[in-house]
Amino acid sequence: MSYAPWIDIPWKGNVKEALFGKAHAPTMGSKYYLVVRAVEEYHLQKKDVPQNFSMRAILLKGVVDAATKAAGEAKSQGHREYLRKLAERAAGKAQYLRDIEQYLKQNADQVSDIHGFIEAMSAKRAPTVQMPPPPQQGWQRAGVGGGAFAMAGSVAFEQMDPYHRAFEVDLERGKNPWKGAHGRGIGIQMVEWVNRVLNNGYDKPFLAYLEISDACFHALSAGQEAGQVLYASDGKLLAETSMVSLINGALLETKASGERRMFDTSEATHGKAGDYHAKAFIITVTGDMIAGIHEGGKMHHSSLNGGGLVRCAGMIGAKNGMVTYVDSNSGHYRPPAANVFAFLKFLNDFGLLAPNAMTTVQGSPMTIVNYLRNPARTFYGKETLAGTHRK
């Protein structure tokens, strides 16, 4: 059973109980003494101090060495397996600490200006920049209105986090800006951290605070920890995702494996897929369309392009190269209504809609053609109307 690398190693008492049968057993002179001693020395370090991360990583290397040596000498299969897992966890945690230390050095504002960081994290949408229009050829002729936009502020830290752990907080406008969090992620820990900083004068950065929070607690079983979201990088497609192109009046998908076929989402059957077997999709700033099966805590809209800027996002259903369903159900991007409307209009204008292709407007199903004929009067308002996601 593997553990997320940010989960800490067990305390000395837990190790003694596993190897000696009780937490307070004497260890001096035993073959496991060096293991227990290495674990004890590691846990003496103050964990939410970034300056201690290097030393903690060094001490964890000591745990790896002691546990590996002891495993080679242990006669009990159970002890050998426990020591092997302990060494594995210690090595993973050491690498995690080195990664976070490097990240904080590269993002020094998260250490030196904690209140400024909190203010930035309170924004409704992550900071973005003005983008030029997409290239005007082929599929990219989709003139998605409103320009490019970034992820919603409530999920923005998922991209910033070097390990891309699931993250979503409830930023309540005009009231308590840090109302709470939901989902299996580290959002609840950020809410705790913000309240400590604002109310109690806590002065350590968020990623350091995680070290003393439940998110890194050693007793978490594999599967209980925050989900690690897949993120595309270096312009490469994730496995099980596709690049969708417009070819001869239909949509063709090219999978990460290189397989090509008419765009079809029939295999999407759970979660946000709904009755329309829809997949998550985005349109990148260069006009490329990428789609994949949405899976909460693992594959989000942000996964498809590494959390970068987009021109549209939502859910799309298709069969034999024709679109059967579109909505704006992306909690990570929450696309402006104008962008969604422009995308639907593009699909209609280029004859890419199947007969009776549907969308969802304010919770009610409607054909896309009817929606385009009579968009809601508040269409140009701030909230997305063609979609099902909470506002």
Q: Report d(CA 155, CA 187) in Å as an integer.
A: 8
> Is 223 contained in some domain?
no
- pTM of the predicted model as reported, rounded to 2 decimal places: 0.85
Count CA within 13 A, CB hemisphere, residue 106.
Answer: 9
User: How many residues are given for the chain?
Assistant: 391
**Domain-located, residue 197:** no
| Residues sharing a CB contact under 8 Å with residue 231, sequence separation 6 or more, in sequence order | 159, 164, 302, 303, 306, 307
Contact between 251 and 244 under an 8 Å Cβ cutoff? The reply is yes
- Residue 119 inside a domain? The answer is no
Domain boundary pick from 89, 106, 123: 106
Question: Is residue 218 assigned to a domain?
Answer: no
Answer for the pair 388, 359: CB distance below 8 angstroms, yes or no.
Answer: no
**Quick one: three-class SS letters along the chain?**
CCCCCCCCCCCHHHHHHHHHCCCCCCCCCCCCHHHHHHHHHHHCCCCCCHHHHHHHHHHHHHHHHHHHHHHHHCCCHHHHHHHHHHHHHHHHHHHHHHHHHHHHHHCCHHHHCHHHHHHHHCCCECCCCCCCCCCCCHHHHCCCCCCCECCEHHHCHHHHCCCCECCCEECCCCCCCCCEECCCCCHHHHHHHHHHHHHHCCCCCHHHHHHHCHHHCCCCCCCCCCCECCCCCCCCCCCCEEEEEEECCEEEEEECCCCEEECCCCCCCCHHHHHHCCEEEEEECCCCEEEECCECCCECHHHHHCCCCEEEEEEEEEECCEEEEEECCCCCCCCCHHHHHHHHHHHHHCCCEEEEEEEEECCEEEEHHHHHHCCCCCCCCCCCCCCCCCC
Provide the pLDDT for residue 356. 93
Other C-beta atoms within 10 Å of 331: how many?
20
Q: Write down the pLDDT at residue 287.
A: 85
Whether residue 274 lies inside any domain: the answer is yes
Contact 41, 51 (CB under 8 A): no
Reading the block at residue 361, the tokens are 């407007």
Beta strand pairing status for 279-284 and 260-262?
unpaired
Contact 314, 281 (CB under 8 A): yes
**Burial grade of 31 (CB within 10 A; 0-12, 13-18, 19 or more):** middle
Which of these three, 106, 133, 148, is where a domain ends?
A: 106
pLDDT of residue 125: 80
- Please say which residue of 77, 106, 135 terminates a domain: 106
Residue 63 structural domain = 12-106
**Residue 236 has which token pair?**
């490469």
Going from the first residue of the chain to its last (391 residues), give the mean pLDDT of each consecutive group of 10, the final group possibly shorter: 85 94 82 95 97 98 97 93 96 97 95 94 71 49 66 92 93 79 88 95 97 86 75 92 93 94 94 89 91 93 94 95 95 88 90 94 87 63 45 41
pLDDT value of residue 250: 94
Sign of CA dihedral 143, 254, 355, 379: negative
Q: Compute CA distances 245 → 24, 144, 263, 288, 308, whole Å.
A: 65, 16, 9, 8, 20
Number of domains comprising the chain: 2
pLDDT (tens digit, 9 = 90+) per residue, 79-127?
Answer: 999 999 999 999 999 999 999 999 999 999 999 999 999 998 888 887 6
What tokens were used for 268?
A: 């999407």
In a domain, 255, yes or no: yes
Give dist(CA 241, CA 271) in Å, integer.
16
pLDDT value for 128: 56
Residue 173 domain-assigned (yes or no): no
Domain assignment present for residue 200? The answer is: no
